[in-house]
Amino acid sequence: DIQMTQSPSTLSASVGDRVTITCRASQSIRSWLAWYQQKPGKAPKILIYKTSSLESGVPSRFSGGGSGTEFTLTISSLQPDDFATYYCQQYDTYPWTFGQGTKVEI
């Protein structure tokens, strides 16, 4: 299985901060990387697919980058609604796998 490792596991930040989360794959996944946001008690919500494509309706302060084995999710100016847990997911090779999550807290 392809292992997805996110860093950091927890991130403390303030409203207005620029925040970057890193996701590393144990082998190349080309550009088949997605990012999800999950709030407590809710299902995950897709933010970005194919590394950098923004899902419809997702604010432009979210952006993704990278390729191969190293990827990033950046929030350009953190808003109160963005405090949540973020997961990366590869869909290059079965079984599709998720990172362990990064909790963004105040």
User: Which residues in this chain contact another protein in the complex, by CB under 8 A?
Assistant: 1, 32, 34, 36, 43-46, 49-50, 53, 55, 87, 89, 91, 94-101
In angstroms, give the least distance from the CB of 97 to another protein. 7
In the complex, the smallest distance separating the C-beta of residue 49 from another protein, rounded to whole angstroms, is 4
Shortest CB 95 distance to another protein, Å: 4
Report the nearest approach of another protein to the CB of residue 66 (Å): 16
**Whats the size of the chain, residue-wise?**
106
- Closer to another protein at the Cβ: 17 or 55? 55
Beta-bridge mates of residue 74: 20, 63
Contacts of 72 (CB under 8 A, 6+ apart): 20, 21, 22, 23, 64, 65, 66
Report residue 97: phi and psi, to 5°: -135, 155
Residue closer to another protein by CB (options 83, 98) is 98
CA dihedral sign of residues 59, 93, 84, 105: negative
